[in-house]
Structure 1
């Protein structure tokens, strides 16, 4: 079965990524840098991902140089709108000394790319690009040696430009295509490869336009929603009444009856498919499938009520937990020493809010299964589909397409499994698209979180003890069909994901850091920043309160206690760019003549992710100005200066765009977003019930990028989100004289705070 889908190879040359890889491994006129087949690395205990001993039959290809002069490069991660397709292509083009336009990236296809795990934690450039860079340098070295041999000169006398080797100063040379003509060369990927020095870069470190935009602008087939294959049918699913819940004895066991007669008059209906609590319909046309799903009468058992979660704190405190002591260092002060501040911070459940509902196409055949998917976890999804279907991983191909953005895990994996079950039942390709309501109700939510902090301040303004505990419900959300069909247990699960950036960056004399791992209450998965964003909210609000208690400017106070020089340099740069005035104060609850309160806030963070103690991505800092209408409680963010130290920036334009995206999404999460629940489960069904930031509400955003091109590249995709919430909260204190510790900061919250705290802090 074929579809015009590939972003890298003409249709006549390969119908699927699997066929493309086979063709390359058998082709003449090609140089390949490969790695022997191997099982993927297993996720660390308590971390997301799935383990498998599957070893593919074919070697991994990282770089292919063809006799046409074209370069193909392969990476197991996917581009979620972050621009890594462009940045990875820049890395390859740089090492090979070819124009960027000559490099075509292949991302995420399970049968064409290395299994490098899920696309999470801003790790694509920082980690998964390393073997790609080495492979490109290794290919160039082979080409240079081959050119020297054919030209009869020493390799060091040659220089490369535009895919051509020339003797330095000569006009004539020999192109890469000619060097591989009629040859088939496979080089095993080596670790000890000499890569290009930073000072020689001509492509990396310079802005480059996104290579994916032109095709999207021209309407070239890019998105999974637009895939059509011959003989394709259309499916829709009917979800159970326990919306967004994935643990409990009722999950997968609640279906009582499906009345097939209720849809007998639907035109073009092919089948009603039932397995456990999974219910789906298949029809000849999409509108018929929608009609059948709407008309199908299904009877369910009563569902036990969900604990109240609109305020998640009581449920989280009552939930069983397993304490992990993360850090206990330095000397904690005596109870009577200094001034103690005890604070509690609460983060709400939030939604990924993908702008388009998830979609997939599955084609079940006698010789295997092909799924066209928008997943960000292609190789992990393949493991789940193997468990669901009983097929071996070698019989499943995930063709990764673009989809609606998510910055975490939406329903993309779920809808793939839905399509597989329906395709298997009818023996034809089936396209399934969720409704907006299903996407909102069932996508794994960003988890709620509690942060309890006790900090001590010395008489001289020094930081003494810091006692911090984060309570975080697990975000292990199995693919939904596995639960609904009973393929995986419906018991509560627990991961160790609440410890991201759990340690504050400041020099307290003693630190005691813990994490209470808690079973999931509702279906949850990682959302941008994971637990690091709420943890940073607590850390940075707390340091601001300590600065106020010490009577010290909040920027100066941070710099005094910030031992990381790169962090300090960044904070100074952002303060300078914002025109920070030392010691200046906002309205502090006294309205200006126009009836508005005004204030400024600052926050800093470095995203520390992966299994504790983890490792760092980029450094980031915000300074912003807010105003508050005392009559309506409406908050206006007037200007933001956001800085980031990403180390080497492969594409500074891409980093800048990512920072903009982080700012917009974080503003929306802090000012507007909270999932609502009822007794059945999730109650936020549509955009009216889950509002997002709108274009008129986006303030001017100034970006400060630190010049660190000689340093290793760091993950840039999530760090700038972390300081947003505390920067806003600290600015609101400066404006209102009231501390807010429970986002979102909606007008009702602001008005209540102003009403209930008349004696505001000076």
Structure 2
């Protein structure tokens, strides 16, 4: 269903042989269609208003669906195909999807933030419904029958008098080259054939059978291999290198040096690697020592002057009741890697037409193409990014950097595809990490444990340095002879700021305030990891809720429900607890239970997680025995897809919370392989049960980042229940747990 294309838009239309109702709109006009005087359209239809940007009805009896969002393993291409097929009344196998090709599809920005369902899927639903209405009008005219007398079966329009005509026979030039009106209502849930069904993900079977190629496996004809030599540290500068001798090595096509950017292109991969190693051996660098170290980062965060302080008065308290007691706690999150199993890669070709074609697994193909064009000194139209699926990652890893680096090397060998893939050490040392954070909580409570004043303070560096059209956010652009300066990061916009994402608790407190200390200095490279600041903020909030419940001598579930007014939130929390058997659970030695809840960004999917753990007091090892999650994603399109996202997020969060921490000294990153940065293994994954709360007719809610925060809190709460020791610094490694147990305090 998903085609990978290397031709131009015009070439694509010629070679497919399809006669279609519509053509894709040009990229440069994709974001300029919205007239401020026209009604707001649903989802990404607002910024890509032409129906022809989204859909083509083809003479070969298929429908081409074009989307700007890309497949990362989250199942979005399957979900939008289900929606399109239902709204058009066609079989699912007729839907062909093209995604993430900057020359062909609508610009939907970055695939991130759990926005694919609320923005892309909503746009597809409304666009498809409107196209169906247009096709029915055309059919009514051709059959000379009233529109309300027509029905559709798999693309065949049937009239009550027995006459019929198929969609594919209604080809009338520019029929879809019009703006959507937003006036056609999608079908009610009762008429859905595919929406709500566990349709097998279209990309899974070929992956399971080894038929599909990830970008990392792609080998176009005539391809050359590139490798880079990275500086030893962030601030290092290249003083000298013996490039001439390396240029003479077997298979070397070109040694490329531009300032402190250093790379090589060779005929075979092992030749490129050998040449890169030779360059590295002869390179002389100027090195600085100025990092605060991984143990010193939390003090650094608390003492560094913030670039911006955001004071959010969520609920000013009315009344002068004095709290009976004040309870405080501080929580810590380290830097996290994306830790993709497959290292980042890209293939770039400088074409004879002057267009740089880059095949990439970037989540931000549009912005990255613009940033690379600026870096290379090309017009934006001369850089085309084409998404290919990579080996799995959520967030801003090194895919964009690989695209830029491949392009820099490809400029030196025009006409030849250049493949670049980082080594494990390069990926680990140079990728942008998830920011370390400190979260301080304080609550004034009355004699019954009711929260009178809730104060939460956050210290964090940025969570977003994606290219955003700016070369300075591409790693190698900063090392060129004429370097690009990295823009000062921002903290996003309300209600989904990055550092303080989910910093506002969903609970109804009498007084509620959040203070964010946003620090734009970055000792180590940082950007978006799955959930951004939500993971740490929910960990802190939900851990502190347990601490308040303990102080009030109230069951943690009961305590949460006391302050939770949102009925859907209460439902999810109760469903997780019921499935877990919260009220019937019997405590045994060294075992504990814990629960955590959040609504991602307070606007997306609801999720509650309950865990049972066993803690070995002799060595501090935590074993997660079982996990239960409940999720409300609004109207569910694909139940399997939602369950997979909840399960995957839960497992990844356990890995973060139990093992993962980037370590560095005053000079460089020390976590360079899987031994120095371990992740959860298959044998450590617990059985996971997921309860789905479906809301037919409700808006689609993003789910991909809903379970990370609740899982970290549920883990810490369960460990406390098992040991009586409150752990507030992640990860909960055996060494840290054993130390805490020996002290019998907090850690």
What is the TM-score of this pair, normalised by structure 1? 0.89
| Mapped contact 1:445–1:525 kept (Cα < 8 A) | yes
Gap change, CA 1:465 and 1:674, over 3 Å in 2? same
- Which sits farther off after the overlay, 302-311 or 538-547? 302-311
The separation in 2 between residues aligned to 1:491 and 1:145, in whole angstroms, is 51
What's the counterpart of residue 513 of structure 1? 514
Change (3 A) 1:655 1:558: same
Once residues 569 and 80 of structure 2 are traced to their aligned partners in structure 1, the CA distance between those partners, rounded to angstroms, is 27
8 Å CA contact 1:533, 1:722 repeated in 2: yes
In the other structure, the counterpart of 2:224 is: 233
1:191-224 C-alpha deviation (Å, 9 max, x unpaired): 3233222222111111100011233345445321
User: Counterparts in 2 of 1:234-633, with a 5 A limit?
Assistant: 234-242=225-233, 245=234, 250=235, 254-296=237-279, 297-321=282-306, 322-331=308-317, 337-367=323-353, 368-427=355-414, 428-477=416-465, 478-485=473-480, 486-489=482-485, 493-496=489-492, 497-519=498-520, 520-581=522-583, 586=587, 592=589, 597-608=590-601, 616-633=603-620
Show the counterpart of 2:97: 105
What's the offset of the Cα at 1:17? 5.3
- Distance in 2, Cα, partners of 1:212 & 1:145: 35
> 2:385 & 2:488 partners in 1: Cα distance?
29
Normalised TM-score (structure 2): 0.91
Aligned counterpart, 2:64:
72
Which residue pairs with 1:189 in the alignment? Answer: 179
Residues 131 and 176, structure 2, Cα contact 8 Å, conserved in 1: no
Q: Which moved more, 1:60-69 or 1:557-566?
A: 60-69
Name the counterpart of 2:42.
none
Match of 2:43 in 1: none
Using the TM superposition, name which of 217-226 and 451-460 deviates more: 217-226
Matching residue of 2:39: none
Give unmatched runs, 5+ long, in structure 2: 34-46, 466-472, 493-497
What is the distance in 2 between the residues matched to 1:616 and 1:376? 22
1:89 aligns with 2:81: yes
Structure 1 residues 559-593: Cα deviation after superposition (integer angstroms, max 9, x where no partner): 111011110111111111111117x7746xxxx3x
Residue-pair matches, total: 713
Contact in 1 for aligned 2:51/2:131 (Cα 8 Å): no
Q: Secondary structure at the match of 2:675?
A: helix
Q: Is the 8 A contact 1:33 1:188 kept in 2?
A: no
Question: How far 1:703 moved relative to its partner?
Answer: 0.5
User: Residues 356 and 33 from structure 1, CA distance in 2 versus in 1: closer, same or farther, beyond 3 angstroms?
Assistant: closer
Contact 1:62/1:114 (<8 A) preserved: yes
Q: Structure 2: how far apart are the matches of 1:33 and 1:234?
A: 33
**Structure 1: distance between partners of 2:284 and 2:25:** 54
Structure 2 CA distance, aligned partners of 1:391 and 1:216? 36
CA RMSD of aligned residues (A): 2.5
Equivalent pair of 2:443/2:455 in contact (CA under 8 Å): yes
Contact between 1:137 and 1:194, CA under 8 Å: does it hold in 2?
yes
Within 2, Cα distance between the matches of 1:348 and 1:607? 21
Structure 1 unmatched runs, 5+: 1-5, 43-54, 609-614
2:116 to 112, 117, 124: 124
8 Å Cα contact 1:33-1:139 kept in structure 2: no
Of Structure 1 and Structure 2, which has the larger fraction of its residues in strand?
1
Q: Is the 1:33–1:187 Cα contact (8 Å) retained in structure 2?
A: no
SS where residue 719 of structure 1 aligns?
coil
Q: Shift of residue 490 of structure 1?
A: 5.3
Secondary structure at 1:546's aligned position in 2? helix
CA contact (8 A) 2:370 2:383 kept: no
Matched-pair contact (CA < 8 Å) for 1:354–1:406 = yes
Q: 1:264 to 1:385 in 2, by over 3 A?
A: closer
Counterpart in the other structure of 2:3? 8
Cα deviation digits, residues 97-119 of structure 1 (max 9, x gap): 11111111111111111111111
Distance 1:642 1:41, change over 3 A: farther
In structure 2, C-alpha distance between the alignment counterparts of 1:166 and 1:60, rounded to whole Å: 25
Deviating more after overlay: 89-98 vs 136-145? 136-145
User: For the Cα contact (< 8 Å) 2:20–2:56, is it kept in 1?
Assistant: no
Match of 1:49 in 2: none
Shift of 1:487: 3.6
- CA shift, 1:387, in A, is 1.2
Instruction: Identify the residue that residue 711 of structure 1 maps to in structure 2.
Output: 698
Conserved? CA contact 1:333–1:510, under 8 Å: no
SS at match of 2:194: coil
Quote the Cα distance in structure 1 between the aligned partners of 2:645 and 2:464: 26
Q: Deviation per CA, 1:265-324, whole angstroms, max 9, x where unpaired? A: 521111111112110011111110011001112110122331112352112112220211
SS of corresponding position for 1:723: helix
User: Deviation per CA, 1:664-694, whole angstroms, max 9, x where unpaired?
Assistant: 1111111111111122221111111111111
Q: Note the alpha carbon deviations across 1:626-679, whole angstroms, 9 max, x for none.
A: 011111111011011100010001111110111111111111111111111122
Please say if 1:685 is aligned against 2:661: no
Q: Secondary structure at the match of 2:128?
A: helix
